[in-house]
Amino acid sequence: MSPVSAATREALADISAGRIDALAAPLEPAADAAVLDERTVALVKIAALIALDAPPASYAWQVAAAIEAGVTGEDIFGVLLAVVPQVGGPRAVAAAAEIMLALGLSLPESYE
């Protein structure tokens, strides 16, 4: 089992008990708590968009924010490949088109 800080354990316990207000209050970073860097957070958010089959505007906004955080198009493609086993091919195909547009790329002519 991985050790976690008391703050993390308490926050997870609150959320799992249905106290969703705990989601609104960010955790105070503790010395022993791992905090994700901005680049990693941006990639995780893109993975969530893929999993949720998010609307195009979500991709446009989040991909732009990710690029600003230092993420590359190759990083985003890596995220897409990483989540395919969990989300399935059709969702990945749909996400690929939205990612292309958000990166300013043209869709292939065969795209309908």
Lowest mean pLDDT among 28-32, 34-38, 83-87: 28-32
Q: At residue 92, does pLDDT exceed 60? A: yes
Q: What's the average model confidence in pLDDT over 55-67? A: 94
> What's the pTM value of the predicted model, to 2 decimals?
0.75
In which residue are the tokens 């505007």 written?
Answer: 57
Q: What confidence tier does 26 reach under pLDDT thresholds 50, 70, 90?
A: low
Q: What's the average model confidence in pLDDT over 95-104? A: 94
pLDDT at 82: 95
Q: Measured between alpha carbons, how far is 46 from 83 in angstroms, rounded to an integer?
A: 10
pLDDT at 110: 78
Cβ burial of 62 (10 Å; 0-12, 13-18, 19+) is buried
pLDDT at 112: 58
Q: What's the average model confidence in pLDDT over 73-79? A: 95
pLDDT at 53: 94
pLDDT at 32: 42
Q: What's the average model confidence in pLDDT over 38-42? A: 94
Dihedral angle over CA of 59, 65, 71, 76, nearest 10: -10
